Copies of this chain bind each other. A is one copy, B any other.
Amino acid sequence: MRPNKREELVHKALGIFYQNGFHATGMDMIVREAGISKTSIYKHFRTKDDLILAVLRLRDENFRNWLYRRIEETAQTPKQQMIVLFDAVDEWFALPEFKGCMFIKASAEFQEPDNPIYVQAAEHKRMLYEHFADVAQKAGATKPKELSRDLMLLVEGAIVMAAMGVFSDAAGDAKRAAISLIEAQLN
C-alpha cells in the first residue's frame, strides 16, 4: 500500500506542477487535484520542496528512459542516433500537454545554486550531455564532448522556442542545424 500511494502522489504532483508551475501550485491544490489527503502527503514528504525533488527524480527517469529508448529503437548507428534525437524531441513538442522542460522551469523558479532543486535540475542536463558525448564518441567524432555540447545547445534552444511558441518547427530547425554540425565533425 505504502509504496504505491507514494508513487501515485509523485506521479500526480508531476502533472500538476508541470501545468501550473511550482510556486504557483499550493499544497491545497495538490490535495484537491491529486485526491490525496494533506496528512498522507506530509507522511511521505517532510516539505513541499522534498515533494518537488521527488517529482524531478521521476521526471528525469521517465524522460531519459523514454528518450534513450526512442532513439535506440529508431536508429542503428551512433551517428543516426544523434540525428533522430531531434525527431524524438519533436514528438515530445507535439504532445498536447507539452509546456517546455520541467528542469528549465525548476531552475528558473529556484535560482539559488545551492538549492537542491536547482542542483538536481542541472544534474539532469549534465547526464544528457554525458550520454550524447558517449554517443558522439561511438560515432567517431574527433571531439565528442564538443559535438555533444553542440547538440545540447540546439536541443535546449529548440525546447525554449517551442515552449514559447516562437518557432513553428523548432525541432526541425534544430535537426537541420545539427546535421550540418555533425557532418562537419565526422567528415
Which residues on A are within 8 Å of B, measured CB to CB?
19-21, 23-24, 99-100, 103-105, 107-109, 111, 113, 118, 121-122, 125-126, 129, 146, 149-150, 152-161, 163-167, 170, 173-174, 176-177, 180-181, 184
Contact = CB atoms under 8 A, between A and B. Distances in A.
Given A23-B23, A99-B111, A160-B160, A177 B150 contact: yes
B152 A154 contact: no
Contacts of A154: 153-154, 157, 177
Contact of A125 (B20, B153, B166): B166
Provide the main secondary structure of the chain A interface: helix
Contacts of A184: 180, 184
Contacts of A160: 104, 156-157, 159-160
Contacts of A111: 19-21, 99-100
A161 B160 CA distance: 12
Contacts of A108: 21, 100, 104-105, 108-109, 163
A83 to B, nearest CB: 16
Contact of A167 (B19, B99, B104, B149): B149
8 contacts: A24-B109, A100-B111, A108-B163, A153-B174, A154-B177, A156-B160, A160-B160, A180-B181
